[in-house]
Structure 1
Amino acid sequence: MRLFIYVFAFLYSLSFSLIASESDITNPNQVLHSVSTTTFKRLNDEKSRLQSEPEYIKVIIKEELIPFFDYKYTAYSVVGPNLKNTTPEQREQFVDAFLAYLINAYGLILGKYDQQSLLILDINNFKGKKIVSIPVRMTDNNGQVTQLDFKLRNNSKTGEWKVFDVIAEGVSMLDTKKSELRPLIQKQGIDEVIKLLLEKNSEFVS
């Protein structure tokens, strides 16, 4: 259940359009508000195609979510101190495998979307900050409320805000992935963890 909350939350937080205005991507509040209209509108508009072509969900994820998810930063954070012991090729391979895993996981869970609603609690003190946390409340059809906090990181060169973590009921998705993968990297090496991710990716293939 927690995995669904994490993925659903990320889908909301990452899903603003490639045609978003400059003000959208330089204001973390507007990034999250765009969430509630863009990707889920596309899901509804292309529902018939998704039913006949389930793999098409990956296209939507790649086009609508990934460009605005700081997945490289997240992947590097998972590797942590072990990063200094890796080669550029290993880092690239890990990021690619990690990204593919996220796309597959999002695609698997995205079909569970069932008109959940979000209340975004805007923040006003993001000017000059590099990382902010925006509270969000998700309500399902039964009226159950889940407390979420979206963490966004600002690119000092472009001014863009991108999501890199979500905290569901006090538990960080990023910290969870660190606890799962970092010990394996330390014990087995990054090459073995890359293989593990690739194996998991292959399990998503129908």
Structure 2
Amino acid sequence: MMKRFLCCFLLMFATAAPAAFALDEKTPPDVLVRSVTNDVLTIVREDKAIQSGDTARVLGLVEERVLPHFNFRRMTMLAVGRDWRSATPAQQDRLTEAFKTLLVRTYSNALTQYREQVIDFKPTRMGATDTTVQVRTEVRQPGAQPIGIDYMLEKTGTGWKVFDVVVAGVSLVTNYRGSFGSEVRSNGIDGLIRSLEAKNSSLVSAQAGS
């Protein structure tokens, strides 16, 4: 379920139409989500390369347009949990890069599957001094129950960044924490790094052969 609906999240941040270029570090988080979402849905429905499953095209768009909206370091820190503190700075860097690659490789191809989604944006409660905000949406698609997707964003010096997404009540970072903890207990931080990098290599090979 997590994999199926997290791709909706990437869909919303995968690329941008010209209107999105007006967004900057002062753009409120709910406006950011709404603007990019509407632009992306239009483009994905019209982009024949994406619809035909062009992996290089999809990955290129994700690399260019998804990553600036994420705080992958904080996402990795939350997913690794308390074991993060025992990692050296070099290990933290490798963990962050490996986790980022895993997320992008795992979910980006799902962009080719989306056509008829309708996004309902819920009112966002936000105070003038808030630095962490939840942006709530609901994804509706034919033949399926609506799915709630909540975006957790934090205010940074370069604008609002996503550090977690909650799909139907399930947190992305929490979803990984159990397996990451088990790997660290069995093989240490380096074992977790090796495991993530091995998964990424397998995904690269699989996508290259598709």
Q: Could you say which TM-score interval applies, normalised by the shorter chain?
A: 0.7 to 0.9
**1:198 maps to which residue?**
197
Unmatched tracts of structure 2, length 5 or more: none
> 2:70 and 2:22 mapped to 1: Cα distance?
14
Equivalent residue runs for 1:130-169 within 5 Å = 130-142=131-143, 144-155=145-156, 157-158=157-158, 160-169=159-168
When you count helix as a share of all residues, which structure comes out higher? 2
Partner residue, 1:95: 96
Rounded to whole Å, the distance in 2 between the matches of 1:114 and 1:90 is 40
1:39: how far off?
Answer: 3.0
List gaps (5 residues or longer) in structure 1.
none
The answer on whether the counterparts of 2:131 and 2:155 sit within 8 Å (CA) in structure 1 is yes
- Alignment partners' CA distance in 2, 1:125 and 1:89: 36
Q: Percent identity?
A: 23
Contact kept? 1:39, 1:64, Cα under 8 Å: no
Match of 2:186? 187
Indicate conservation of the 8 Å contact 2:71/2:163, yes or no. Answer: yes
Query: Counterpart of 1:62 in 2: which secondary structure?
Result: helix
Check 1:39–1:64 CA distance in 2 against 1; reply closer, same or farther (3 A cut). farther
- Greater alpha carbon shift after TM alignment, 65-74 vs 102-111: 102-111
Residue in 2 that maps onto 1:7: 7
Provide the residue aligned with 2:172 in structure 1. 173
- Aligned to 1:184, the other structure's residue is in SS state helix
TM-score (norm 1): 0.86
Question: Against the structure 1 CA distance between its residues 118 and 52, is the aligned structure 2 distance closer, same or farther, given a 3 Å change threshold?
Answer: closer
Q: Aligned in 2, Cα 1:20/1:138: closer, same or farther, shift over 3 Å? A: same
Q: Counterpart amino acid of 1:203?
A: S
- In 2: Cα distance, 1:107 partner to 1:32 partner: 18
Is the deviation greater in 143-152 or in 66-75?
Answer: 143-152
Q: Which aligned pairs between 1:49-64 and structure 2 lie closer than 5 A? A: 51=52, 53-64=54-65
Maintained 8 Å contact 1:118/1:138: yes
SS in 1 for 2:58: helix
Bigger Cα displacement from structure 2, 57-66 vs 175-184: 175-184
C-alpha spacing 1:11/1:153, structure 2 compared with 1 (3 Å): farther
Residue equivalent to 2:114:
113
